[in-house]
């Protein structure tokens, strides 16, 4: 059967892309079903409307590519189709035209790295921004500890939407995630309110949050994202909300969690936070540029 390519048409295609991501998932792969959902829906549709292409064999997605123009490409290719990396890179070349282009595979993705080197991409310096992938098993989780008057709990539903969006916006000092986009995100697989945790402050504000996405086939949760309102930092809230969410993940059947903070020296705090909770690095991304 010949492989055919077509454009992304909507959320049903995201589910088909997630099916490939779940099918080929391992610690050697940079994608997780949750980061596709988060990446696609965290911002309102017009801001996330980047070209996406799907390659199918007999109706089943065997590769996808997602270009954040002008220069960044995410891609996932079923290893059973060794000819596809070249085809996907052709698609990206056509989009990028004469501009610079960048791709950020994990160091363990030898097939992608080889394809990039063959096409004239070169690795950038070691001190450039990169993501450090971390993992933690869930069998020995410490209990969360909160300052007096603060409580950790899962989001209950749309009645929490305003405060849920407010804590995200405060933590990131950005209004790009909106009530509309987060409301949509909450309807997208595999979002679960039971894995979307917040710390509520004595004044009723949400002070900190940790969202976990659960892949129940591999029993692995992805933490994405975590944030604490600057008014409440250094109180141990991020640590507590993550631990509370990780306990919920274990109760849902999860055996381990992964998280992918920046690993370069320019953005050290999140990595400190996760390592302090027992996460250990297992891989890093590296930017290849042409």
Cβ at position 69, least distance to ligand COA in Å: 24
Shorter beta-carbon distance to ligand COA: residue 48 or 235: 235
Shorter beta-carbon distance to ligand COA: residue 89 or 226: 226
Residues that bind ligand COA (CB under 6 A): 171-172, 208, 225-228, 233-239, 261, 269-270, 272-273, 276
Cβ at position 216, least distance to ligand COA in Å: 23
Cβ at position 208, least distance to ligand COA in Å: 5
Cβ at position 95, least distance to ligand COA in Å: 29
Q: What is the 3-state secondary structure (H, E, C) of 136-189?
A: EECCCCCCCCCCCCCEEEECCCHHHHHHHHHHHHHHHCCCCCCHHHHHHHCCCC
Shorter beta-carbon distance to ligand COA: residue 78 or 228: 228
Cβ at position 107, least distance to ligand COA in Å: 19
Output phi, psi for 262, to 5 deg. Answer: -60, 145
Looking at the DSSP assignment, which residues form a beta bridge with residue 154?
197
Shorter beta-carbon distance to ligand COA: residue 163 or 289: 163
Q: How many CB atoms lie within 10 A of CB 44?
A: 16
The answer to whether 222 touches 215, Cβ cutoff 8 Å, is yes
Cβ at position 197, least distance to ligand COA in Å: 13
Place of tokens 């390592």: 275
Work out whether strand 220-228 and strand 256-259 pair parallel, antiparallel, or are unpaired. Answer: parallel
Q: Which two tokens stand for residue 158?
A: 């749309």
Shorter beta-carbon distance to ligand COA: residue 79 or 230: 230
Shorter beta-carbon distance to ligand COA: residue 236 or 254: 236
- H-state helical runs in the chain: 11-23, 33-41, 84-96, 110-118, 161-172, 179-185, 237-251, 269-276
Which of 244, 290, 285, 287 has its CA nearest to residue 35? Answer: 285
Shorter beta-carbon distance to ligand COA: residue 128 or 269: 269
Cβ at position 17, least distance to ligand COA in Å: 23
Cβ at position 86, least distance to ligand COA in Å: 33
Q: Which two tokens stand for residue 48?
A: 């996330």
Shorter beta-carbon distance to ligand COA: residue 101 or 133: 133
The answer to whether 271 touches 261, Cβ cutoff 8 Å, is yes
Which residues, other chains included, contact 154 with Cβ-Cβ below 8 Å and sequence gap of 6+?
193, 194, 195, 196, 197, 198, 245, 248
* Separation between Cα atoms, residue 285 and residue 134, nearest integer Å: 12
């Amino acid at each position: 059967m010949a492989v055919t390519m077509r454009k992304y048409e909507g959320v049903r295609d995201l589910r088909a892309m997630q099916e490939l991501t779940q099918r080929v998932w391992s610690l050697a792969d940079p994608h997780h079903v949750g980061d596709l959902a988060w990446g696609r829906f965290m911002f309102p549709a017009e801001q996330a409307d980047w070209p996406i292409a799907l390659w199918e064999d007999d109706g089943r997605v065997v590769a996808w590519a997602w270009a954040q123009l002008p220069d960044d490409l995410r891609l996932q290719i079923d290893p059973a189709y060794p000819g596809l990396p070249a085809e996907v890179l052709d698609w990206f070349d056509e989009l990028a035209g004469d501009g610079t282009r960048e791709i950020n595979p994990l160091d363990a993705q030898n097939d992608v790295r080889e394809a990039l080197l063959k096409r004239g991409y070169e690795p950038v310096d070691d001190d450039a921004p990169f993501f450090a992938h971390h993992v933690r098993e869930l069998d020995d989780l410490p209990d969360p500890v909160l300052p007096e008057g603060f409580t950790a709990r899962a989001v209950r539903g749309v009645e929490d939407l305003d405060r849920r969006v407010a804590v995200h916006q405060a933590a990131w000092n950005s209004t790009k995630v909106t009530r509309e986009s987060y409301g949509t995100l909450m309807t997208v697989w595999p979002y679960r309110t039971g894995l979307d945790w917040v710390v509520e402050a004595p004044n009723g504000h949400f002070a900190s949050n940790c969202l976990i996405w659960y892949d129940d086939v591999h029993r692995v949760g992805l933490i994405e994202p975590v944030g604490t309102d600057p008014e409440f930092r250094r109180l141990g809230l991020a640590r507590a909300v993550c631990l509370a969410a990780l306990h919920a993940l274990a109760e849902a059947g999860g055996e381990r969690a992964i998280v992918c903070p920046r690993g370069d020296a320019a953005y050290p705090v999140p990595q400190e936070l996760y390592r302090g909770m027992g996460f250990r690095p297992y891989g890093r991304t590296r930017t290849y540029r042409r």
